[in-house]
Amino acid sequence: MISNPIFRILQKTVQTGMVTIGYPGTPAPPAVRFRGAPSFDFDNWHDARPAAEVCPTEAISIEEWEDSRQVTVDYGLCVYCGQCAEADPFGAVRTTREFELAALDRRDLIVTAEYTLNSDGTHRGLTQVHQGHEPVEEAEQRAKQKLADRIHRVLGRSLDIREVDAGSCNGCEVEITALNNPVYDLERFGMHFVASPRHADMLLVTGPVTRNMELALLKTYRATPDPKVVVAVGACGISGGIFGRNYATLGGVDQVIPVDVFVPGCPPRPLALLHGILLAVGRMERKGLPR
Ligand code: SF4
């Protein structure tokens, strides 16, 4: 039995060993109780109405005509509550353990399916599924790529991040804080959190952007030197989430400043944040939506 506290700490350290995960080099399975984004089997979805009715953020929305229905699923609004899966009697909606949903374009988080309808309102047939944005002009694409290459060249190796809470519930902050612990260890990528936007390369912004934080966010953005990237964190940061747009909130970071990467989740787990940050600086690829 070692009585000296210093030796006890050293003994525990040796016994515990290395706890840092190898992500993204090696996959990091989510915790057993983790619930990720829902997936939708559009081909076999007999009726979208029950799921749309229970969705608390209107991430599933419906537009109907006489004999057809358009169903839109917006992962930028989804809070991963799983209620749509519980409400769907046919099992076409299920919860997954997917978390790497970060996207460079807001429109890439939206899927639209169109159905013809039976007389009772159930789906007769799927006519089309559309995901993401239309291809942009080649010149625009080239300009975007050039800018992205420059950002990746300058920021790809070392990155200073300024976190901005623009009115969040602090759920995202809890997950962001975890990035600094020995398990996720953000510093192994040469990335650090800094106190001043003047020292930052990236703004990691949470919250639906309250009107009281609008000016502060704008000033923070202007104080950050170019080239800079902005990451909108969580359903609130992307779309206002459960708060949406109202008398007190503006409905997402891109309502105030340009956003480069959108990281869905409520809150996004640390690995989802890591994926989004690495995607922003060109060190990871986009994975796409769950199927
Ligand atoms: S998991 Fe997402 S889509 Fe499903 S009900 Fe919850 S918020 Fe809506």
Reported as a single tens digit per residue, the pLDDT across 66-120 is 899 999 999 999 999 999 999 998 889 999 998 889 999 999 999 999 999 999 8
In a mutational test of the pocket of ligand 1, which residue from 39, 49, 57, 86 has the highest number of ligand atoms less than 8 Å from its CB?
A: 57
- Centre of ligand 1 to C-alpha 6, Å, is 49
In a mutational test of the pocket of ligand 1, which residue from 62, 75, 77, 78 has the highest number of ligand atoms less than 8 Å from its CB?
A: 78
Q: Which atom of ligand 1 is nearest to the CA of 83?
A: 5
- Centre of ligand 1 to C-alpha 82, Å, is 6
pLDDT over 80 at 132, yes or no: no
Q: Quick one: pLDDT at residue 229?
A: 92
- Tell me if 163 sits within 8 A of 216, measured CB to CB: no
Q: Over pLDDT 90: what percentage of the chain? A: 65
Ligand 1: list residues with CB < 6 Å.
38, 54-57, 59-60, 78-84
pLDDT digit string, tens, across residues 16-70: 888 899 888 888 888 888 899 999 999 999 999 999 999 999 999 999 998 999 9
pLDDT over 70 at 198, yes or no: yes
Largest separation between any pair of C-alpha atoms in the chain: 79
Q: Quick one: pLDDT at residue 255?
A: 96
- Centre of ligand 1 to C-alpha 130, Å, is 19
- Centre of ligand 1 to C-alpha 267, Å, is 13
Confidence of residue 155 (pLDDT cuts 50, 70, 90): low
Query: Tokens in use for 43?
Result: 């081909």
Q: Quick one: pLDDT at residue 265?
A: 94
pLDDT over 80 at 142, yes or no: no
Return mean pLDDT, the chain: 89
pLDDT over 80 at 1, yes or no: no
pLDDT over 90 at 232, yes or no: yes
Indicate the burial class of 16 (C-beta count within 10 angstroms; 0-12, 13-18, 19 or more). Answer: exposed
Q: Which atom of ligand 1 is nearest to the CA of 77?
A: 7
pTM of the full structure: 0.89
- Centre of ligand 1 to C-alpha 79, Å, is 6
Q: Quick one: pLDDT at residue 152?
A: 66
Q: How many C-alpha atoms does 144 have within 13 Å on its Cβ side?
A: 11
β-bridge mates for residue 63, sequence order: 70
Of 124-138, 184-198, 251-265, give the lowest mean pLDDT range: 124-138
- Classified as helix, coil or strand, 27 is coil
Q: Quick one: pLDDT at residue 140?
A: 66
